[in-house]
Amino acid sequence: MFRFAILFLMLSASSFANCFDVRPSSLSIEPKLKLKIEKLIQNTIDSTNLTSLSILIGTSSKSVYAKAFGYVSKTKPNSLDMIYDLASITKVFTASALLKELESKDIDISTKMNKLLDPKNTNSLKDKISIEDLLRHESGFKSGLLNREFGQNTEESWNNIVNLIPTKKYKRFLYSDINYLLLGKILEKVSSETLHKSIERLLLKPLNLENTYFAPKGVLCGDCAPTSKGQVVMKTHDPTAHKLGGGVGSAGIFSNLYDLGKFASIFLNKGKFCGKRILSSKQVREMTLKKHNSSRGLGFDISSAYSNRPRGDYFNLNKSFGHTGYTGTSLWIDPVFDVFVVVLTNSVINPKAKKIFLDLNKSISTLIGKSFSNNKSF
């Protein structure tokens, strides 16, 4: 009986390890599409200020293509294991963890933020704002913080943030880091632990994401793509996250292609990874469907102006979803075609490379979307 139990555990562990083939075979993707992708990316790197790019394409069951191009710095070649500052893709991790925790505590997304954060400074408009409003960027908060709005220390800065008054139109979409700063703080209140620990408990450990974390301040990182010239330590590029300690609900998570592939796959598997329930099917549905007159789900972008490039011309409008990051990162998922695309760069290292990445991101998605729409990818 003991031997049988050990054998069962070994087989279960092996099955879990192999149930999602995160490192694809070089022959997994249709050769013509592979050549087109590689020619497009390599030509861009050879002829512009964009010096590197990593890409992963996958389905609900496996990754089908992965490649790292170029150099992330003058002396550091890019690699498939390279760790990137995800910037605003952090928001999707925050939304996923928060909604999972709210569901376990039976707290509805219609709950008003003031009930959970109890600010000293409020008004009639702020009293209306719900968790859902924050998730959809429809709260009325402006896009970001001014330098003068930070305090003398982290505690004072958070006090200022919690007591901000919205100045924009309520229920109108305005992409705002403030929304996700507050959502991160709400997660801390609901879970009674730090944001970092909550995301680790709710997402990173269940998915076995060993290369995904909020950057430990000042830690040397040989496998990290720098976001400024000469950078050798882990440093969150986002200035707000950096001032608040390195990782917040809006930015600060670092990861690599393979971990993001695992994360993306759960949204093609109705919340499961290798048969293990990570998110509820209801949560996945709410995160990936928009309401009438809304351009976003609860965390994911679906049809806002920011979605045009990562969606490309062929991924399904209003049915595909994803998010981008200012540092040059992109995640897009199409459940109709059963495909996800992860694109990682550190284009922010060179100001001239920013628009190049954005345009290339659209070209890559258009190529892949067209191939999957014609069922010619395999």
Domain spans in the chain, listed from the N-terminal domain onward: 93-195
Q: How far apart are CA 123 and CA 369, in angstroms?
A: 46
CB 125: neighbour CB atoms within 10 A? 15
Q: Is 234 helix (H, G, I), strand (E, B) or coil?
A: coil
Please give the pLDDT value at position 10: 40
pLDDT tens-digit readout, 70-112: 999 999 999 999 999 999 999 999 999 999 999 999 999 999 9
347-363: average pLDDT: 95
* Contact status, residue 187 vs residue 109, Cβ threshold 8 Å: no
pLDDT tier for residue 22 given thresholds of 50, 70 and 90: confident
Q: What is the CA angle 225-230-233, rounded to 5?
A: 60
pLDDT tier for residue 1 given thresholds of 50, 70 and 90: very low
Please give the pLDDT value at position 317: 96
* Contact status, residue 151 vs residue 160, Cβ threshold 8 Å: yes
Is the pLDDT at 7 greater than 50? The verdict is no
pLDDT tens-digit readout, 159-174: 999 999 999 999 999 9
* Contact status, residue 225 vs residue 85, Cβ threshold 8 Å: yes
Structure tokens at 26: 């070089």
Distances (CA, A) of 231 to 177, 218, 242, 349: 25, 10, 15, 10
Please give the pLDDT value at position 376: 55
Please give the pLDDT value at position 4: 38
